[in-house]
């Protein structure tokens, strides 16, 4: 794993993503062999991606794919593999739909989050939409813990040899305390699926994105329909 984290190296923030990933991999029967933490420095990121990609079966990165000028991870990963990078139509479409839906502007800064290497595949981000991506054996994910965790949940089942995981998200403007009870009963009825609840607060509105994941499309669709009827959404 590679953590791109000035905030961790400066001591401002205590690591959470390394700890989360380590636990998830252990539960999946996968050994985490090495973690490196480097700063927002292009040469350091590129060299670490190359070294870890060559040394291990799979690499996860965390951080540096947001909209600000110091978010350089995507460009560094593209450079590490000699791939080209630009704003990609598939990622732009995801962001456009999201910002249109929330009435906010897809400005130049946010469009940075659609910069994806040309040969990468996108990683689903049910929490805040801006995707991660996979290139060769490297999975590039966000640093915000709730988004990192959602992306790990998207990627992990693909590593254990299982079928691809489908996800459906329902945005509920309800407190998690109102969601938890009915959601728990639904999760018990659909024990073959996994249910996640990711709280948000945006423009004074509170709520949670409820994500249903599974490998069987009709089952996921049925659970989503039940979820919608539970909350009359």
Task: Name the DSSP class of 70.
Answer: T
CA 90 to chain centre: 16
**CB nearer a second copy, residue 82 or residue 188:** 188
54 binds a second copy (CB under 8 A): no
**Residues 143, 5 contacting (CB under 8 angstroms):** yes
Residue ranges in 172-191 that form contacts with a second copy under rule CB under 8 A = 175-181, 183-184, 187
**CB nearer a second copy, residue 19 or residue 228:** 19
> Please, what is the minimum distance in Å from the beta carbon of residue 90 to a second copy?
19
Residue ranges in 71-110 that form contacts with a second copy under rule CB under 8 A = 104, 107-110
**CB nearer a second copy, residue 1 or residue 78:** 1
Q: Is 62 helix (H, G, I), strand (E, B) or coil?
A: strand
> Please, what is the minimum distance in Å from the beta carbon of residue 105 to a second copy?
8
Alpha-carbon span 155 to 151, nearest angstrom: 6
Long-range contacts of 189-192 (CB under 8 A, 24+ apart): 189/226, 190/214, 190/219, 190/222, 190/223, 190/226, 192/216, 192/219
Residues near a second copy, by CB under 8 A = 6-16, 18-26, 31-40, 44, 66-70, 104, 107-110, 112, 143-146, 175-181, 183-184, 187, 195-202, 204-206, 209, 211
């Amino acid at each position: 794993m590679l953590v791109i984290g000035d905030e961790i190296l400066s001591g401002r923030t205590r690591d959470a993503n390394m700890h989360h990933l380590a636990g998830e991999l252990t539960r999946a029967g996968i050994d985490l062999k090495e973690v490196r933490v480097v700063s927002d420095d292009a040469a350091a990121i590129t060299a670490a991606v190359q070294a870890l990609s060559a040394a291990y079966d799979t690499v996860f990165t965390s951080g540096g794919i947001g909209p600000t000028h110091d978010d350089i991870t995507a460009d560094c990963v593209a450079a590490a593999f000699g791939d080209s990078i630009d704003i990609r139509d598939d990622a732009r479409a995801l962001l456009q739909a999201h910002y249109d839906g929330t009435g906010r502007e897809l400005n130049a800064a946010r469009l940075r989050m659609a910069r994806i290497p040309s040969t990468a595949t996108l990683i689903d981000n049910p929490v805040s939409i801006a995707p991660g991506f996979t290139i060769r054996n490297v999975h590039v994910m966000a640093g915000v813990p709730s988004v990192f965790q959602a992306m790990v949940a998207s990627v992990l089942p693909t590593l254990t040899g299982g079928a691809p995981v489908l996800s459906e998200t329902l945005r509920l403007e309800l407190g998690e305390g109102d969601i938890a009870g009915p959601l728990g009963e639904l999760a018990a009825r659909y024990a073959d699926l996994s249910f996640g609840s990711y709280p948000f607060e945006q423009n004074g509105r509170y709520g949670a994105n409820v994500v249903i994941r599974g490998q069987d499309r009709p089952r996921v669709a049925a659970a989503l329909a039940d979820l919608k009827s539970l909350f009359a959404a």
